Amino acid sequence: MSSAGIEIQLNGKPHQTSASTIAELAKELSQAPQTLLIEHNQIALHRSEWAGASLSDNDRVEILQVSAGG
């Protein structure tokens, strides 16, 4: 992998990342893991699966940030 990293589709838009897993991507985006729902190539992932979910060029990642409200 080059220093530029890989290009994925993040929420429908091209995104360059040096992350190699979903967990690294969440950290790179400075998102609080407990507030995220992540879908990787159309598969919803539990937070416990993020570290084992490898990223490759052209992967599709959807990240939703949830918040409590009332």
Report pLDDT digits (tens) over 56-69: 999 999 999 887 76
Mean predicted lDDT score pLDDT of the chain: 91
% helix, strand, coil for the chain, step of 5? 25, 35, 40
Percent above pLDDT 90 for the chain = 76
Q: Which helix (H) or strand (E) holds 26?
A: helix 22-28
Rounded distance, CA 15 to CA 41, Å?
Answer: 15
pTM for the complete prediction? 0.85
